[in-house]
Structure 1
Amino acid sequence: MKFTFKQLIIRLLIFGSPIWFLIISYIVFDPFHVIYSYDAYGSNFLKTYNRNRISTETFLRNNPKYKFSSFIFGSSRSSAFLTKDWSTFIKDPSPYHFDAFNDNISGIAGKIKFIEKQGNKISNAILVVDNDTFNESFEKSESIVHLKDYRWEDSTNVFQYHLTFFKSFFKKQYFISFFDLKIFKTFRPYMDEFFKFKYYYTSPSNDFLFPENIELLKKDSLAYYKNDWFPYKPENPKMYEEAIKEHHLKDLRLIADTFESNQTNFKIIIAPLYDQRVFNVNDRALLEKYFGKENVFDYSGKNEFTNYLGNYYEGSHFKPVVGRKIMEQIYQ
């Protein structure tokens, strides 16, 4: 039996309707918030939102008004350094938090280049670093949480960027969880892979907050610190192995040169991690070589911050109370 072209199109539309529905739904709902521009991102989910995108978009939307000149860089661990706290030390009413999940040194360098392209002067800066800052684990991955924004990452193709997010909508039935949660407003155990902890993103400063963790702490702090978010750590943790490799030096040089040309008042903070492992001494020496010993502050290992469990939300993130105390020390 032969079909006319019109009949063929009709059949394709009928039998392909479920696929068309999903495609249209993806465009309409923008589940990963990467198609459209948003005034604010509010409370979102760690496993489905890309912090690089949020940081870049929030910067671009607010920069014309605020002309940001003070920036906090790093991974989500930099969240402990709140812009409202930092503002009092640098006398800038509008600092900006330009971080990303698991951001590494190339991501930080890329953001600094992007800021300069927008015509902004970098007057003040904080770089929060740790061993993972020199890790490329997510560099070539298609993780939608870690994908770098195509607007400042030269090697990223805009079509490939959006295609990665689109494909993720169908991976492991993500869309089923998405519509289930959207329609019934009920979290179910099977959604855990996609929707876990809620976080909050402020605007215009783009700070990264932990409201759900704070709520759990208020409810029962004793129970909170007994859960498995806090892994075992040995009594005498080993020093980290060298993490800074030859190919990282160009990014360190770019950042150092940019700070020099901008006459930036900057601080390099080696994070006080829960594991209490000491940042490698050779890596610290390299940071001191590029940025000056007087600008590098090492809070790794055992110290007043890492000795107290109550300073942490879990094994990866320390609290703003630690960030405030560190800023008090380094700006005195």
Structure 2
Amino acid sequence: MKQYVKRLIFITGVFLLILMGYNYVVDDYGLFRGDYSTPKLGTPEHYVKMKFLLQNPQKYNAFCFGPSRVGSIDLTRIHNGYTYYNMTYAAGVPYEWLNDMKQLIAGGVEIRQILLGVDNVSYWGDPKVNEKNFLRRSYKEYDWAQYVLLLLQKPSIVSAKTKGTVFDIYDTGRPFHYITEQEIEKDPEKYANNLLYVTTRGSGNRMDEAMQEIQEIKELADENGIELIVFINPMSKVNYLEIDLNEFNEFKRRLARITGYYDFSGLNEIAIDNHNYYDTAHYRPNVGDKIIDRIFGMEDSPLPRGFGVWVTKDNVEEHIRDLENELNSY
């Protein structure tokens, strides 16, 4: 029996060493060698971006925080003297953005402006769940567990060459979906008519915690002379219609008590046209351009009606009524 156990331990050990060696050499997620020049199926964006920024505290002074949706926002289109970095990462929530801001400030980053892209994920997403996911963990110095988790991952059978994304970690911070864009260009109508369904409807509810965290983000920005610009992300009609809109409207009411914001959600022209989306959860760069145009007043032509409405505590009820009327007439 002892011999059997020893043999089992030996075989398991050899298997783990082979697995870890393979993952280190192949480096599917770019963590070990820091090479993000080729397409990857994913990368621990939150971790590697914070590490990069803290190692280069003078490189950027303006940031866009938000979940993966804001990855399609091209901040290089803004010409106001600031140097922008897109801090998008999967399932990002206010708790994480608040801690990132504190960490960046403590690390010597002089932040002038923050763009904050919120949506329904902001109040149901759980940062504790993110910490258990090796691709979503936050940055901690000497975090050996992050590397061990990656070394022990089961190798993917999907090829990054056909499904991967290029993560521009060392420049803009954006993910570039070149392969998907090429697929769309081949037959835009087919792609739009068969848009991949990705839900953003969650079962959790951190509304109170999220509002407190956004309040603290606002206070931290004010204390440090940081201009805070908040906006609600555009949503496809599928995602918009599947969520609890009463809950979403309550989020909008409470957000308006903290700060004014631009609301890009609703059943506007952008939402109902599948050509504007990679999947039902993620808008494409042409939509990101319209967000920048609206916020920074750079639009050359009129934007879609109801897209990017400026909302404050004084007009939030009127705005919600307009959205409800829009929904009823859809």
**Does TM, normalized by the shorter one, top 0.5?**
yes
The counterpart of 1:302, out of the listed 267, 278, 291, is: 267
Query: Over the residues paired in the alignment, what is the CA RMSD in angstroms?
Result: 3.4
d(CA) in 2 for partners of 1:331, 1:218: 29
CA shift for structure 1 position 197: 2.7
Could you tell me which residue of structure 2 aligns to residue 52 of structure 1? 46
Asked if structure 1 preserves the Cα contact closer than 8 Å seen for 2:195 and 2:280, the reply is no
Q: For each residue in 1:181-234, what CA deviation from the matched residue of structure 2 results, as whole angstroms up to 9, or x when unmatched?
A: xxxxxxxxxx249997311222322112211111011111122122251579xx
Could you tell me which residue of structure 2 aligns to residue 201 of structure 1? 167
Which runs of no fewer than 5 residues in structure 2 stay unpaired?
1-8, 298-330
Judged with a 3 Å threshold, the aligned counterparts in structure 2 of structure 1 residues 326 and 243 are, in CA distance, closer, same or farther, namely: farther
Asked if structure 2 preserves the Cα contact closer than 8 Å seen for 1:49 and 1:144, the reply is no
Q: Secondary structure at the match of 2:218?
A: helix
Which runs of no fewer than 5 residues in structure 1 stay unpaired?
1-11, 152-156, 178-190, 233-238
Could you tell me which residue of structure 1 aligns to residue 151 of structure 2? 166
Q: Write out the 4+ residue segments of structure 1 that deviate beyond 6 Å after TM superposition.
A: 12-15, 193-196, 239-242
Could you tell me which residue of structure 1 aligns to residue 86 of structure 2? 97
Matching of residues 101-180 of structure 1 within 5 Å: 101-137=90-126, 139-140=128-129, 142-151=132-141, 158-167=143-152, 169=153, 174-175=154-155, 177=156
Q: For each residue in 1:153-176, what CA deviation from the matched residue of structure 2 results, as whole angstroms up to 9, or x when unmatched?
A: xxxx82433333333x2xxxx23x
Which one-letter code corresponds to 1:22 in the other structure? L
Q: Secondary structure at the match of 1:23?
A: helix
TM-score w.r.t. structure 2 length?
0.74
Give aligned pairs, total. Answer: 282
d(CA) in 2 for partners of 1:71, 1:124: 7
- Say if 2:261 is the partner of 1:313: no
Judged with a 3 Å threshold, the aligned counterparts in structure 2 of structure 1 residues 220 and 113 are, in CA distance, closer, same or farther, namely: same
Asked if structure 2 preserves the Cα contact closer than 8 Å seen for 1:75 and 1:128, the reply is yes
Judged with a 3 Å threshold, the aligned counterparts in structure 2 of structure 1 residues 242 and 133 are, in CA distance, closer, same or farther, namely: same
Could you tell me which residue of structure 2 aligns to residue 213 of structure 1? 180
Which one-letter code corresponds to 2:37 in the other structure? G
d(CA) in 2 for partners of 1:16, 1:27: 16
Q: Secondary structure at the match of 1:165?
A: helix
Could you tell me which residue of structure 2 aligns to residue 41 of structure 1? 36
Identity of aligned residues (%): 17
Could you tell me which residue of structure 1 aligns to residue 292 of structure 2? 327
